[in-house]
Amino acid sequence: MNDLEAYMTSSTHQKSGSGSASVERGEVYSDCREGMLESVTTLPLRHGGRVDTLKIGWRLTGPPSAPIVVALGGISAHRKVFAARGEDPNSGWWSEVVGVGLALPAEHYRILSFDYLGGSGATSGPKDGRDFPSVSTYDQGELLLRLLNHLQIDQLDAIIGASYGGMVALAFAEQYAYRVKKLVVISAADRTSPMSTAWRSVQRRIVRFGVESGKPERGLELARALAMSTYRSAEEFSSRFAGVAEVRDGRFVFPVEDYLMARGVDYARRYQPDSFLTLSESIDLHQINPDQISVPVVAIAVKQDQLVPAVDIQSMCSRLPNAHVHEISSVFGHDAFLKEHDALKAIFSAELPPTA
Amino acid sequence: MNDLEAYMTSSTHQKSGSGSASVERGEVYSDCREGMLESVTTLPLRHGGRVDTLKIGWRLTGPPSAPIVVALGGISAHRKVFAARGEDPNSGWWSEVVGVGLALPAEHYRILSFDYLGGSGATSGPKDGRDFPSVSTYDQGELLLRLLNHLQIDQLDAIIGASYGGMVALAFAEQYAYRVKKLVVISAADRTSPMSTAWRSVQRRIVRFGVESGKPERGLELARALAMSTYRSAEEFSSRFAGVAEVRDGRFVFPVEDYLMARGVDYARRYQPDSFLTLSESIDLHQINPDQISVPVVAIAVKQDQLVPAVDIQSMCSRLPNAHVHEISSVFGHDAFLKEHDALKAIFSAELPPTA
C-alpha cells in the first residue's frame, strides 16, 4: 500500500488560536486530525467492478489514550461526526448526540469516521468518473479495515453505527471480528425491509428520471422529499403539520409539502445525484449473515421506525450469537438516532467501554 | 335542470341473450342501467371556480324494490362497482367484495355509483379543458345530490364509502342528512393525516415534473408506484418480496420495485395525469365537521393502514354524535376494503338494512 496521506491539524484547532497540537485536559476534544488516505492498491468490489485508486477521507478526534470508537451514520453522513471547537456547530452530522458532555462524550473517546465509498465526500465515488460500480456494505467494511491498518489501530473498542452505518458495522464485524470488541447498532438490521426498498427504489427512479430529463437536481429534490417522510413518523407529522393549505401561485400548498420540499432543495444543493443513487442502492443490496457475527452486539430499535421495523431488528438479534436489544419509542422514527439524546445517553453509558 | 340523459340497458344484459329488461329472481343483479346526466345548471365549486356544463356518468344495478345503497371507492374507482353478467369480471373496481353472493350481495341491493368529478371517467373533469378547478369532497356530495334528484331517489338506505369514497360519504351526510339513513365509512376520516399528505404531495410533484418534462406518463407511473407502496403494509411486502435483486440492463432491480413499476405502468395507461392531480389534491383538501353529522355512522378502521391511521378514525368517531368503530387487522393496509371479503361480509350483514 502506497500512502500519500496528508495529515492536517483541524482548521478548527487553528482557528481556536491555541496553535498547539496538544491542549490541556478539558479541551482535548479539539484534538482533531483529518486525513486523506490514497492507495494505489485496487479495491475489488463485492458486486463486481473495482476502484483502482482508492481515496478515503477520514477524521479522528479525541485524546490519544481514550477508547477508540468508530461512529457511522446514514448515507448522507460523512467524516465530520461533530464539530470541533471553532467549527460551525451544525457542520457535524451527529452534533446533537456526539460532543463534549453529550450522549457520546467526545472528551472521553477517540472518535473515528470516514466518508463513505460512493458518497459525495472526499472518499472515492461517482464524482471520480462515470459508471461507478454498485457498492456493498462489505465494501465499506473493507475500507474501514484499510483505514485501521493505515492508522495502526489493531482493535476498535466499539463501532457505533446508525442506519446505513449500522449495516456497515455488521458487515465489518462479520468479516473482521478480531478488529472490534463490540457493536452498537441503531435502526439497522441484517437486510432491508421490502417496504423500505419500495420507497428507495421509487426515489432512485425519480432521480434517474431527473437525470434523463436534464434536471438531475429536480429529481434529487423530489427523492429527498420522499425520503424525509419515511425518516419520520405519522405521529410527529400529525402534531407538526396540522395547519391548512395556503394558495401560492394559484395552487394549494400544504404545510408538510412545504417542509419536505425545502428539505429536498437544501439536500440537492449539497449532494450529488449519482452518489445518492449509489448509496441508496447499497442499502437495498445489504444482506449479512447474523449467524457469523461473534462480536457482541447491542441493538437499538425504534418502535415508530417505518424504514427498519423493530420486528426486523428483534429477528436479527434472535440469530446473532451474542446480542441484546433496547427498544425505544420516538416520534422521530428512523431519525431517532439523530434526536433522542437522552435515551441514547442512557444506553451508551451502560454499554460502551468505561473511560478513565 | 335540462336533462339529456340516455338510459341504456347494460351491454352485459344484451350479451346475456335474455333480451328482457326484467329477468327472473336470482338473476336480477344483471338489471343494470347506466346513464349520463348532462345539466346546463352551473356547479359552483367549494374552493372557487365552477363547472358550466356538468356531466355525471352513473350506474345503477339491482332489483327495483331492494334497498338502495351508494358504493364509492378510492380516487381510481368509477361507476362500475362490479361487473354484471357477461361483462369482464375484473372490470368492476370492487369485484372481490360486491357481487352475487359476496360481502355486499348485489342480488339483494340496488347499488348506485358514479364517476367522480375531476376523474378520468364520463363525469366532467380535466379532459374537458385545461385548468380544471380544485375539487372538494363537498362538491362530490353535491354531484350525488343532483344525481339522486334526477333519479327521483328521495332517501338512500346507505352510502358505503371506502377511502376517498368514505370522505365523500361524510361530506354528503354533513350537508344532506335527510337524504341518507346510514353511512358505512371504511378507511376514511374527517381530515387527512399529514403523513399521507406528505406522500401524496410528493406524488403530485412527480406528476407535474413529468408534465413539465414532456413525459406526463412517466411521472404518473412513478407517482402510482409510490402510491401503491402506501396502500399496502410492511408486513405484506415482507412476505411477498423477500427475494433477491436481479441484474437487468446492467442494473439491480428489486422484486418489490418490479411489482410497483408494473402497477405504475398499468395505471398510466388507464388514467390521465390531470385527473390524478385533481383527485389526489381533493383528498388532501378534505375536511368535514364531524359534530354536524347526525346520520348514524359505522366506521371501519384497519390497524395496518399507513394512510388513514386507525387512531384518526377513532378520533373522528369520538366527535360524531352517532357512530361506532370496527377495527380490523389486515396485511393489505389501506387496500383492505378491496381484499377483506370475510371481515366486510360480517360487518355489512350486521350493519346494512335487511333485505326481503
Distances in Å between the Cα of A12 and the Cα atoms of A68, A77, A88, B97, B218 are: 21, 19, 9, 66, 48
pLDDT tens-place string over residues A163-173: 999 999 999 99
Give the gap in angstroms from C-alpha A145 to the nearest C-alpha of chain B.
27
Mutate to test the interface with B, among A131, A190, A195, A240 (most CBs of B within 10 A): A195
Chain B residues near residue A218 by CB distance under 8 angstroms: 209
Give the gap in angstroms from C-alpha B198 to the nearest C-alpha of chain A.
6
B334 is catalytic: yes
B163 is catalytic: yes
pLDDT at B197 over 80: yes
Chain B residues near residue A213 by CB distance under 8 angstroms: 209, 213, 215
Would you tell me which residues 216-235 of chain A have a C-beta closer than 8 angstroms to some C-beta of chain B? 218-219, 222, 225-226, 229, 232-234
pLDDT at B210 over 80: yes
Name the residue in chain B with its Cα closest to that of A225: B202
Q: Does B163 touch chain A (CB under 8 A)?
A: no
CA proximity to A343, closest of A68, A73, A66, A102: A102
Which one of the listed residues B115, B139, B190, B305 is annotated catalytic?
B305
pLDDT at B40: 79
pLDDT at A82: 96
Percent of chain A beyond pLDDT 70?
91
Q: Under 8 Å CB-to-CB from B233, ≥6 apart: which residues?
A: A195, B304, B306, B330, B331, B332, B333
CB contact (8 A) between residue A237 and residue B195: yes
pLDDT at B283 over 60: yes
Beta strands per DSSP E along chain A = 8-9, 32-39, 43-44, 50-51, 54-61, 68-72, 98-99, 104-105, 110-114, 158-162, 183-186, 246-248, 251-253, 297-302, 323-328
pLDDT at A30: 55
CB contact (8 A) between residue A285 and residue B245: yes
Would you tell me which residues 61-80 of chain B have a C-beta closer than 8 angstroms to some C-beta of chain A? none
Nearest to B202 among A210, A225, A285 (CB): A225
Give the gap in angstroms from C-alpha A291 to the nearest C-alpha of chain B.
19
pLDDT tens-place string over residues B15-25: 233 333 333 33
Q: Does A240 touch chain B (CB under 8 A)?
A: yes
Nearest to B254 among A134, A210, A284 (CB): A284
Residues of chain A with pLDDT under 50: 1-29
Mutate to test the interface with B, among A47, A201, A281, A289 (most CBs of B within 10 A): A201
Q: Does A4 touch chain B (CB under 8 A)?
A: no
Name the residue in chain B with its Cα closest to that of A285: B245
pLDDT at B17: 30
CB contact (8 A) between residue A198 and residue B242: no
pLDDT at B3 over 80: no
CB contact (8 A) between residue A234 and residue B197: no
Taking residues B30-46, what's their average pLDDT? 87
pLDDT at A356: 60
Taking residues B160-175, what's their average pLDDT? 98
3-state SS, one letter per residue, for chain B = CCCCCCCEECHHHHHCCCCCCCCCCCCHHHCEEEEEEEECCCEECCCCCEECCEEEEEEEECCCCCCEEEEECCCCCCCCCCCCCCCCCCCCCCCCCEECCCCEECCCCEEEEECCCCCCCCCCCHHHCCCCCCCCHHHHHHHHHHHHHHHCCCCECEEEEECHHHHHHHHHHHHCHHHECCEEEECCCCECCHHHHHHHHHHHHHHHHHHHCCCHHHHHHHHHHHHHHHHCCHHHHHHHCCCCCEEECCEEECHHHHHHHHHHHHHHHHCCHHHHHHHHHHHHHCECCHHHCCCCEEEEEECCCCCCCHHHHHHHHHHCCCEEEEEECCCCHHHHHHHCHHHHHHHHHHHCCCCC
Q: Under 8 Å CB-to-CB from B286, ≥6 apart: which residues?
A: B136, B137, B164, B167, B171, B191, B192
pLDDT at A299: 98
CB contact (8 A) between residue B226 and residue A229: no
Q: Does A207 touch chain B (CB under 8 A)?
A: no
CA A274, A275, A281, A285: dihedral to nearest 10 degrees? 130
Percent of chain B beyond pLDDT 70?
91
pLDDT at B7 over 90: no
CB contact (8 A) between residue A238 and residue B281: no
pLDDT at B20: 33
B47 is catalytic: no
Give the gap in angstroms from C-alpha B295 to the nearest C-alpha of chain A.
27
| ipTM rounded to 2 decimals | 0.90
Rounded Cα distance, A75 and A83, in Å: 19
Stated as kind and residue range, the H or E segment containing A262 is: helix A255-270
Nearest to A213 among B199, B213, B244 (CB): B213
CB contact (8 A) between residue B194 and residue A252: no
Q: Does A245 touch chain B (CB under 8 A)?
A: yes
**How much is the pTM?**
0.91
Would you tell me which residues 253-272 of chain A have a C-beta closer than 8 angstroms to some C-beta of chain B? 254-257, 260-261
pLDDT at A46: 96
pLDDT tens-place string over residues B125-157: 998 876 899 999 999 999 999 999 999 999 999
Which one of the listed residues B10, B30, B76, B163 is annotated catalytic?
B163
